[in-house]
Amino acid sequence: MRPYQGAVAAILLSVAAVSAAQTYHIADRWKLGGQGGWDYLLSDNAAHRLYIAHNSRVEVVDSSTGKPVGAITGLKSTHGVALNPDGKTGYISDGAGNVIVVFNRADLAIQAKIPAGTNPDGITFEPVTKTVWAFNGRSKDVTVLDTPSNAVIATVALPGKPEFAQTDGHGNVFDNIEDKNEIVKLDAASHAIVATWPLQDCESPSGMAIDRTTHLLFSVCDGGKMAIVDYTTGKQLGTAAIGDSPDAAGFDAKHDLAFSSNGDGTLTIVNAAKPGFPVLQTLKTAKGARTMAIDGSTGRVYLVTAQFGAAPQATDDHPHPRPSIVPDTFEIIVVER
């Protein structure tokens, strides 16, 4: 009987481990409404606010209740938001406007619009140099903004089309180069590319997350892959299996988990502390929910999407048109442990 009991115990422990891993669920859905597409989200954990790039505006939402706080309006096509650690100032990449928008976080008033390159997309604040880096998708360069003076101090050419970026807190900036399947490392003080790291088995890297404790970058790619790179050496340590059509990655430092939000309607949760980077859970979310933000203080994950209508007729210029977005269906999906 003892061998049988031992086998049963092992099975029960295995089931319990799997059950414990399947801990994330959709806790709420917050309707925002409005029209048009969307891009990146950012969580201001201390202020309990979410900033959401939504068409020609940035929605600001109370991340505890889902109630709207306000919006930064009068823009053309917003992509991302970065926040100054001073707690007072924020920055928006306005792609169609080709500007970096500086705004006051207290009243959401626009303070300045600074010319950038063509179609600024990913944007991040670098704390050592107190600069904002706006990565320009069409001109394939990065605009560096000195925040004390709100003056552009550099434009750095890149080897290809940039996507999302991260900083390590020690004067280095990392960015995915989507059409080259690589990561570039930039020195924030010299405004120079100091390393280029090819990604293996990872096509069109878009979203990027960072673990500043174990020095890892997580780049999500087409083909259902997440590349994990040691940013002290540039060595790729492995890949994890994720959903299709991702656009954002996230990292929860409290639980050593990496996330990929996927356009196929899934959220992939990866164990970043275990060799091989196994997937702990694939949570069904909603079609189009491919960008997200993580509140590191609560562990909540926020995704956004809307309902879709029919796609426009294909043309030579747009052979694969996106489906139309049903007005007033835009929503935040709240995921919790």
| 204-263 pLDDT per residue, tens | 999 999 999 999 999 999 999 999 999 999 999 999 999 999 999 999 999 999 999 999
d(CA 24, CA 337): 4
The pLDDT tens digits for 72-81 are 999 999 999 9
- Check the CA dihedral 265-123-193-163 and report its sign: positive
Long-range pairs for 125-128: beta carbons < 8 A, 24 or more residues apart? 125/82, 125/83, 125/84, 125/85, 125/91, 125/167, 126/167, 126/171, 126/173, 126/188, 127/85, 127/167, 127/169, 128/169, 128/170, 128/171, 128/188, 128/189
Q: Which residue has the higher pLDDT, 284 or 4?
A: 284
Residue 1 reports pLDDT greater than 70: no
Structural contact between residues 92 and 52, judged by C-beta atoms closer than 8 angstroms? no
**What is the C-alpha separation between 84 and 101, in angstroms, rounded?**
13
What integer best gives the mean pLDDT of the chain? Answer: 93
320 has pLDDT over 90: no
Among residues 277, 274, 288, which one has the least CA distance to residue 322? Answer: 288
Length of the chain: 337
**Full-model pTM:** 0.92
Asked whether residue 45 carries a pLDDT value surpassing 80, the answer given is yes
pLDDT at 322: 80
Beta bridge partners of 61: 50, 68
Q: How many CB atoms lie within 10 A of CB 228?
A: 21
- Beta bridge pairs of residue 221: 225
Is the pLDDT score of 21 beyond 60? no
Per-residue confidence at 17, pLDDT binned at 50, 70, 90?
very low
pLDDT tier, 314 (very low <50, low <70, confident <90, very high otherwise):
confident
Convert the pLDDT of each residue in 161-200 to its tens digit.
999 999 999 999 999 999 999 999 999 999 999 999 999 9
Q: In 10 A of CB 27, how many CB atoms?
A: 12
Q: Which domains does the chain have, with CATH numbers?
A: 38-198 (2.130.10.10), 201-312+320-337 (2.130.10.10)
Tokens of 137: 């998708």
**Which stretch of 15-24, 53-62, 227-236 has the lowest confidence by average pLDDT?**
15-24
Residue 64 in this model has a pLDDT that exceeds 80: yes
What's the confidence (pLDDT) of residue 8?
42
